[in-house]
Structure 1
Amino acid sequence: MEKQIINPWKWQDARNYVQAVDVSNVTGTLYISGQTAIDDEGISSTADMRTQLLKTFENLEKVIQDSNYELKNIVRLNVYTTDSASLFENFDVFQNWIQKNEIKQSSTVLEVKSLFETLTVELEATVVK
């Protein structure tokens, strides 16, 4: 797999995403359903945004690793949240995870009216091989 990052500007670098990702010679593409802070028994978290973000990343990692893909090959990561202000107050969790895993992804953040039950954040990813 070959990956080329397209960034006509520099400002997005501080926000840990890119404007576009061009991939070629792909041998597989993994489209991941929205991952949230649901535990192994299917119980939705009632915790604060920071705790839900951490659990959501944990669940996203599990799906990717169980599929034999690599975190660094996430090319798209969309974020849905019921509370943008709270998300951005805890955005260091997002940025630290992106940096730690050397991910260069396109992203969109959308505030939505509600998510399933008590959930406040959901991550939807596309990963390539």
Structure 2
Amino acid sequence: MDHQQINPWEWQDEFGYSQAIETKDGERVLYCAGQTSMDADGNPVHPDDMRAQTSKVIENIETVLADADFGLDDVVRIDCYTTDVDRLFENWDLITDRFEQPGCTLLGVERLAFPELLVEIKATAVR
């Protein structure tokens, strides 16, 4: 699958995302549900630790992708929801280090499904 980043400006590079991603010749699209900092039994983990939760979220995304024979490099879009945008930005390197500059939306929300959750990321992958 061929994909190209569309960035008419350069400022977004600092944040590790693209304004748009064009895909060509993609045969499969995977729409992942929002992933949070949950263990394999569905229990929230790492309360009040944004860094650990963000890392666990990415780990869970990677697990879902692998189960469908995709990888993080196939992700073309992420939607991030957080109860604390500033704290997520303090840990944004976890996202930019693992994803290859996908299209991205970041929203601050009052709360997520469980009160102890701080971040949720939904990914779309194309292969």
User: What TM-score do you get using the length of structure 2 for normalisation?
Assistant: 0.93
Please say if residues 80 and 105 of structure 2, whose CA atoms lie closer than 8 Å, have aligned partners that are also in contact.
yes
- In the alignment, which residue of structure 2 is the partner of 1:125? 123
- In the alignment, which residue of structure 2 is the partner of 1:104? 101
Count of residue pairs brought into register by the alignment: 125
CA deviation vs aligned residue, 1:74-94 (integer Å, no higher than 9, x gap): 110110001111111121222
- In the alignment, which residue of structure 2 is the partner of 1:113? 110
Report the AA paired with residue 108 of structure 1: T
Report the AA paired with residue 23 of structure 1: T
Structure 2 residue runs of 5 or longer lacking an equivalent are none
Q: Does 1:94 pair with 2:95?
A: yes
1:1-129 counterparts in 2 under 5 A? Answer: 1-45=1-45, 46-98=47-99, 103-117=100-114, 118-129=116-127
Give the superposition deviation at 1:70.
2.2
In 2: Cα distance, 1:9 partner to 1:116 partner: 35
Root mean square deviation of aligned Cα: 1.1
Please say if residues 48 and 118 of structure 2, whose CA atoms lie closer than 8 Å, have aligned partners that are also in contact.
no
In 2: Cα distance, 1:104 partner to 1:86 partner: 20
- Percent identity reads 41
Please say if residues 80 and 110 of structure 1, whose CA atoms lie closer than 8 Å, have aligned partners that are also in contact.
yes
Please say if residues 82 and 112 of structure 1, whose CA atoms lie closer than 8 Å, have aligned partners that are also in contact.
yes
Report the AA paired with residue 109 of structure 1: L
Structure 1 residue runs of 5 or longer lacking an equivalent are none
Give the superposition deviation at 1:52.
0.3
In 1: Cα distance, 2:73 partner to 2:29 partner: 13
User: What TM-score do you get using the length of structure 1 for normalisation?
Assistant: 0.92
Please say if residues 64 and 70 of structure 1, whose CA atoms lie closer than 8 Å, have aligned partners that are also in contact.
yes
Please say if residues 33 and 124 of structure 1, whose CA atoms lie closer than 8 Å, have aligned partners that are also in contact.
yes
Report the AA paired with residue 36 of structure 2: T
